[in-house]
Chain A
Amino acid sequence: MSTRLAKQGRLIDRSKQIDFTFNVKRMTGFAGDSLASALLANDQMMMGRSFKYHRPRGVVASGAEEPNALMQLGTGDRYEPNQRATTTELFSGLTAASQNHWPSLEFDVLAINNKLTRFLTAGFYYKMFIHPRPFWKHVYEPIIRKSAGLGAAPDAELKDADTYEHFYFFADVLVVGGGVAGLQAAKAAAASGAKVLVLEQNAHWGGRAPVDGGTIDGDTPEAWVQNTLAELRGMDNVTLRDRCMGAGVYDHGYALGYERLTDHAPGQGGPRHRLWRIRAKQIVTATGAIERPLSFAGNDVPGVMLAAAMRDYVVNWGVTPGQKVVVATNNDDAYRTALALHDAGVEVVRVVDARDTGGGPLMEMVREKGIRVELGRAIARVKDGPRVTRVAICAQNGEGGAQEEIEADAVAMSGGWSPVVHLWSHCGGKLIWDKDHAFFRPDAPRPPLGDTGEGFVIAAGAANGPLGLGAVLQDAAAAGTRAAEAAGFAPQTVAASAGVAEDESPMQPVWLMPAKADITLRMKTWLDYQNDVKVSDVQQAAREGFESVEHTKRYTTLGMATDQGKLSNINGLAILADSLGAEIPQVGTTTFRPPYHPISMGAIGGEARGEIFQPVRKTPIYDWNDANGADWEPVGQWRRPFAYLRSGESRHEAVSREVKNTRENLGVLDASTLGKIIVKGPDAGRFLDMMYTNMMSTLKVGKCRYGLMCSENGFLMDDGVVARIDDDTWLCHTTTGGAERIHGHMEEWLQCEWWDWKVYVANVTEQYAQIAGVGPNARKVLEKLNTQAGGGMDLSKEALPFMDWRAGQIGGFDARAFRISFSGELSYEIAVAASEGQAFWDALMAAGQEFGVMPYGTETLHILRAEKGFIMIGDETDGTVIPQDLGLNWALSKKKDDYLGKRAHLRSHMADPDRWQLVGLETTDGSVLPDGAYALGNGINANGQKNMIGRVTSTYYSATLERGIAMGLVKHGPKRMGEVLEFPGTDGKVYTARIIDAVVYDKEGEKQNV
């Protein structure tokens, strides 16, 4: 059984007992425990079930690389799935549940998959579920979604109760990793005066060294760590952060840190996670190394654990996963585990060393303790079950015959070490295969390059290859000095601290145990625990022709789980290389991508949620609108009233009321969001002639003209009314959503193509409040305002005719009045200074009482324009529509030699007579056509789908006409007036509509021109 030891446990405080629950069971641990160590102390060896076969799984590692012990933590709005028990610090009241099982961890229905392993091999899903096609959606997918997957997703209705933040930091040298290498490198770099930031992912500093032993400068590694920390903390140019993982390295020295502030102390207040956005001149990756599992049958049975992890549990937390332990290894380091277990009073029943020649002094120390060591031997298999009971031992150099079975309840395995090269590789650092140690390590001459073309990442310590304590410290000191120098500081040579540990004999690569294991063993030999990929799967992929490591990864899912193959990748590569008859370096690695380890979505989002997710742009009338029933609609970053709801009124009723009132009395629209761009200069007219399809240079001062803008490839991108202000000044109105885009578009052409033209453009959208007075009473109310003020501009038809504008005073306000109409009614758009917008609005509303004034929203605006057949950018256009499609040929100047889009309109597809063209649509029963519905043609296309000959672009209920009205684009539409088309809706109904003229209200335009 796994249990707490009487002694040991450098990280726990036995005086502080902590209560927590696992799968509703109440358990206790100590302060300083990880969830994994506390579960082991409670004899909870099995911590989950595997992804595909639902095999029982226990914890296999002690840190971020853990593939098995994934937990669902917390409840309600603090629930989070897929959290590692190994990186979860225990706190009082912690609630954890294992995942991927049903109905319970101990009894799981889908464990039947385990009996079907012969059939569920690599690529099974691809092969099995392809036929019959309809089965995928209705049968296979729902079943797979229920049975596969890791933790359950959080409740979509709940919002994360915690807060998160981003933090920006600039460093000369960023050191990732707070083990002895990171601290040594930081010390060396900081001596030069460089600003140094050190990140450590755990709550404790020092990494593996305090567990592994040896001496540094004649003292224990723990003492050296504490002294060095004290020294670094005393330096103004050094910042140290624990519980903060270096998550990713990106272009030009950008790096992300992921700090977990309150995961271990909920209720402490403040943000839960902090994302560090770091720009560093140099980055030192002192990220250590991760031990590799050995590939033998049953290497996933709970109780089989990495040797160094088992040592961690004993030394750090005072727990042992078993009472009778077998140690299997191909290197000397695992002997340290045998010694640690022995010192803690745990029986080590056998050390199985795959090397014929065995190890060095560490092996002798183990033998001196009376522990039996066997050389050239291997684990043939561990008996299947919810935990280790029996282990079969055989010769390494064989097929697994002549087994000796021994009783044991835990296995410590070590297949050698792999430097953590992720951060080195994220941004293009290259790797080199180290044959002696059988691992990939950073190739120092080929680092990731910064903007100057020089390297900006230096790997240090075990992450760079050296594994012995002395070599690690020397490498790290040199790395720190070099980083400071590369960051522009005069290097100060800092002598590396002297690390002394036992000499180690060379390791021997062991990719399969025993070396020629037969297929029954290989089918139970796991490479990727989290994704259930076995040796036989990778071999099968190779046989089926998957030669590229990237393809094999995707076919078998090797290394694709949340642990990203931290344990398994090298073992998998070795099997693939062997199957292909290639060398490991020829096969290469898959791409290392950030983040190193999953980070929370909350941290990525930071403060950007709720009200400050995106800034809201507000017009000067915003507060009045809000207080007067505005039913807000987002339009770009603006909020505009969709309609003004009166109490008891539905949206539909409000819109119909606003439409009727505007047509019959007086409507008022807050049009302040309209884009307003000033174009000024001696070449402004010439410039606008290029920007617009119409001629703008000939527009007379005081006049307005509706204009179209096309992109260089001919598609409509914006429209609006242009007014000429004076000799060299034009005011261009754009769509609400288009102001910034069109301003940028103008700047681009002015700066990059016609930079010698004398033109300035300025976006003055927010400088003005623009209010439209619309309807038969529009002139009356404005004249009343002037009368009240004792005078003002002449608003008569003669003084200010349709499509003219004037500057002057209205009701005492300095204003520009534009006689333009997007509704077909008599209409004045009045622009006043933004600061006077609300006052003018109030005056208009007060004076308008006797004329039946009502504000109207965007939906009414849409209906009014649709009744008149006016197009809307974004409704009638979608980036594929040209002016000719919309019957706007009249707006394409024939006099101009050139404008943006002119050449494009000559291309064959643009001049195609079969293009869909704008028409009006009238349902045969008066109903409203579904938006976006397609019109059916005859026959079917090459894909067997019905041919489509048109689509609905705008559709509304017209309160004026008391029926549905619509516009659409139809093939040969204008030539097919009166034809009835069928429009299938997504509701299963088929709508029928007749093609009519797009203008269904006041076709002669008499109402606006009065």
Chain B
Amino acid sequence: MLILECPYCGVKAEETELSAGGEAHLTRFGPGSDDDQFHDYLFMRENPKGVHFERWRHANGCGKWFHAARCTTSLEVFGTYAAQTTEPPQEIKDKITAKRPGWSWREFSDASE
């Protein structure tokens, strides 16, 4: 029963108010992409032990999708932010760097490294 703060309405929402939407920051591949690109876009997902970026929807609340950066092992939440972005905001990345120096996740990582 996680608690995530909805960045739109500011509610510290309990998991029963939310619905999970899987990995964040996917790049869509449509017509024109090759089979490998399309396959990876559809099916290949990160399964990290540690820092992870996920999509959540405040389904039983304001209805907005947002992103959450959290640790899959300790369940620590580094921050939540709006879904209308292609990468985590610098402020969130800094927070993660402070807590998990040397972190990396897909194309994103500790910039101080």
Interface residues, chain A, with chain B CB atoms under 8 Å away:
250-254, 279, 428, 449-453, 712-713, 744, 747-748, 751-753, 755, 897-898, 902-904, 906-907
Q: Given A279-B14, A751-B64, A907-B38, verify A251-B75 contact (CB < 8 Å).
A: yes
Q: Given A753-B28, A903-B33, verify A254-B65 contact (CB < 8 Å).
A: no
B74 engages A250 (CB within 8 Å): no
For the complex, give the distance between the alpha carbons of A849 and B57 in Å.
50
For the complex, give the distance between the alpha carbons of A748 and B28 in Å.
13
Produce 1/0 per residue, B36-53, CB < 8 A to A.
Answer: 001000100000000000
How close is B24's CB to chain A, nearest CB, in angstroms?
9
How close is B35's CB to chain A, nearest CB, in angstroms?
7
How close is A695's CB to chain B, nearest CB, in angstroms?
15
Q: A902-B31, A903-B31, A903-B38 given. 12 additional CB < 8 A pairs?
A: A250-B1, A252-B1, A428-B74, A450-B76, A451-B76, A451-B77, A452-B77, A712-B42, A752-B21, A897-B31, A903-B30, A904-B38
How close is A275's CB to chain B, nearest CB, in angstroms?
14
- The 8 Å CB contact of B74, one of A449, A897, A903, is A449
For the complex, give the distance between the alpha carbons of A689 and B10 in Å.
34
- Verify if B105 is at the interface (C-beta below 8 Å from A): no
A712 to B, closest residue via Cβ: B42
Interface hits, B1-22 → A, CB 8 Å = 1-4, 14-15, 21
A748 engages B75 (CB within 8 Å): no
Top 5 closest pairs, chain A to chain B, by CB: A453-B76, A254-B1, A755-B84, A751-B65, A451-B77
Give every chain A residue within 8 A of B21 (Cβ-Cβ).
748, 752
B84 engages A451 (CB within 8 Å): no
For the complex, give the distance between the alpha carbons of A250 and B63 in Å.
25
For the complex, give the distance between the alpha carbons of A755 and B84 in Å.
6
B30 engages A898 (CB within 8 Å): yes
For the complex, give the distance between the alpha carbons of A747 and B64 in Å.
8
For the complex, give the distance between the alpha carbons of A712 and B28 in Å.
10
A453 to B, closest residue via Cβ: B76
Give every chain A residue within 8 A of B55 (Cβ-Cβ).
752
Give every chain A residue within 8 A of B15 (Cβ-Cβ).
251
A451 engages B30 (CB within 8 Å): no
For the complex, give the distance between the alpha carbons of A704 and B55 in Å.
35
Give every chain B residue within 8 A of A253 (Cβ-Cβ).
3
For the complex, give the distance between the alpha carbons of A907 and B33 in Å.
11
Give every chain B residue within 8 A of A251 (Cβ-Cβ).
1-2, 15, 75
- The 8 Å CB contact of B84, one of A252, A748, A751, A897, is A751
Give every chain B residue within 8 A of A906 (Cβ-Cβ).
31
Total of A-B residue pairs, C-beta within 8 Å: 71
Q: Given A755-B83, A898-B30, A903-B29, verify A451-B38 contact (CB < 8 Å).
A: no
Give every chain A residue within 8 A of B106 (Cβ-Cβ).
none
Give every chain A residue within 8 A of B1 (Cβ-Cβ).
250-252, 254
Give every chain A residue within 8 A of B4 (Cβ-Cβ).
451
- The 8 Å CB contact of B65, one of A252, A748, A898, A904, is A748
For the complex, give the distance between the alpha carbons of A453 and B98 in Å.
12
Give every chain A residue within 8 A of B35 (Cβ-Cβ).
907
Task: Report the contact-size class of chain B (Cβ under 8 Å from the partner).
Answer: 20 to 34
Interface hits, B58-102 → A, CB 8 Å = 59, 63-65, 71, 74-77, 83-84, 99
For the complex, give the distance between the alpha carbons of A713 and B40 in Å.
12
Give every chain B residue within 8 A of A428 (Cβ-Cβ).
74-75
B83 engages A752 (CB within 8 Å): yes
Give every chain A residue within 8 A of B77 (Cβ-Cβ).
451-452
B100 to A, closest residue via Cβ: A453
- The 8 Å CB contact of A451, one of B3, B64, B99, is B3
14 contacts between A and B (CB under 8 A): A252-B2, A254-B14, A449-B75, A450-B75, A451-B75, A453-B71, A453-B76, A744-B57, A751-B83, A755-B84, A902-B31, A903-B32, A903-B33, A904-B38
Give every chain B residue within 8 A of A252 (Cβ-Cβ).
1-3, 75
How close is B6's CB to chain A, nearest CB, in angstroms?
13
B63 engages A747 (CB within 8 Å): yes
For the complex, give the distance between the alpha carbons of A755 and B55 in Å.
15
How close is A290's CB to chain B, nearest CB, in angstroms?
27
B85 to A, closest residue via Cβ: A755
For the complex, give the distance between the alpha carbons of A279 and B22 in Å.
25
Q: Given A751-B64, A751-B84, verify A449-B31 contact (CB < 8 Å).
A: no
B74 engages A898 (CB within 8 Å): no
B3 to A, closest residue via Cβ: A252
Give every chain A residue within 8 A of B83 (Cβ-Cβ).
751-752, 755
Give every chain A residue within 8 A of B99 (Cβ-Cβ).
453
- The 8 Å CB contact of B30, one of A254, A449, A450, A902, is A902
How close is B4's CB to chain A, nearest CB, in angstroms?
8
B67 to A, closest residue via Cβ: A752
Q: Given A713-B42, A751-B64, verify A451-B31 contact (CB < 8 Å).
A: no
How close is A581's CB to chain B, nearest CB, in angstroms?
31
Interface centre among B3, B15, B84 (most CB of A within 10 A): B3
For the complex, give the distance between the alpha carbons of A747 and B21 in Å.
13
Give every chain B residue within 8 A of A453 (Cβ-Cβ).
71, 74, 76, 99
Give every chain A residue within 8 A of B2 (Cβ-Cβ).
251-252, 451
How close is A893's CB to chain B, nearest CB, in angstroms?
12
A753 to B, closest residue via Cβ: B28
For the complex, give the distance between the alpha carbons of A308 and B33 in Å.
72
For the complex, give the distance between the alpha carbons of A35 and B9 in Å.
53
Give every chain A residue within 8 A of B3 (Cβ-Cβ).
252-253, 279, 451
For the complex, give the distance between the alpha carbons of A864 and B32 in Å.
41
Give every chain B residue within 8 A of A903 (Cβ-Cβ).
29-33, 38
- The 8 Å CB contact of A449, one of B57, B63, B76, is B76
For the complex, give the distance between the alpha carbons of A453 and B51 in Å.
13
For the complex, give the distance between the alpha carbons of A751 and B2 in Å.
23
A752 engages B65 (CB within 8 Å): yes
How close is B93's CB to chain A, nearest CB, in angstroms?
16
For the complex, give the distance between the alpha carbons of A748 and B71 in Å.
24
B84 to A, closest residue via Cβ: A755
A747 engages B65 (CB within 8 Å): yes
B42 engages A904 (CB within 8 Å): yes
Give every chain B residue within 8 A of A747 (Cβ-Cβ).
63, 65
Give every chain A residue within 8 A of B76 (Cβ-Cβ).
449-453
A750 to B, closest residue via Cβ: B65
Interface centre among B1, B15, B64 (most CB of A within 10 A): B1
For the complex, give the distance between the alpha carbons of A712 and B32 in Å.
15
A754 to B, closest residue via Cβ: B28
Give every chain A residue within 8 A of B64 (Cβ-Cβ).
751
Give every chain A residue within 8 A of B33 (Cβ-Cβ).
903
B33 to A, closest residue via Cβ: A903
How close is A385's CB to chain B, nearest CB, in angstroms?
50
How close is A903's CB to chain B, nearest CB, in angstroms?
5
Give every chain B residue within 8 A of A904 (Cβ-Cβ).
38, 42
For the complex, give the distance between the alpha carbons of A904 and B37 in Å.
12
For the complex, give the distance between the alpha carbons of A897 and B57 in Å.
29
Give every chain B residue within 8 A of A450 (Cβ-Cβ).
75-76
- The 8 Å CB contact of A898, one of B31, B57, B59, B75, is B31
Give every chain B residue within 8 A of A254 (Cβ-Cβ).
1, 14
Give every chain A residue within 8 A of B30 (Cβ-Cβ).
898, 902-903
Give every chain B residue within 8 A of A250 (Cβ-Cβ).
1
Give every chain B residue within 8 A of A902 (Cβ-Cβ).
30-31
A740 to B, closest residue via Cβ: B59
How close is B27's CB to chain A, nearest CB, in angstroms?
10
Give every chain A residue within 8 A of B42 (Cβ-Cβ).
712-713, 904
A751 to B, closest residue via Cβ: B65
How close is B32's CB to chain A, nearest CB, in angstroms?
8
How close is A111's CB to chain B, nearest CB, in angstroms?
46
A755 to B, closest residue via Cβ: B84
Give every chain A residue within 8 A of B32 (Cβ-Cβ).
903
Give every chain A residue within 8 A of B14 (Cβ-Cβ).
254, 279
For the complex, give the distance between the alpha carbons of A453 and B32 in Å.
44
How close is B52's CB to chain A, nearest CB, in angstroms?
14
For the complex, give the distance between the alpha carbons of A906 and B84 in Å.
29
How close is A714's CB to chain B, nearest CB, in angstroms?
9
For the complex, give the distance between the alpha carbons of A253 and B12 in Å.
13
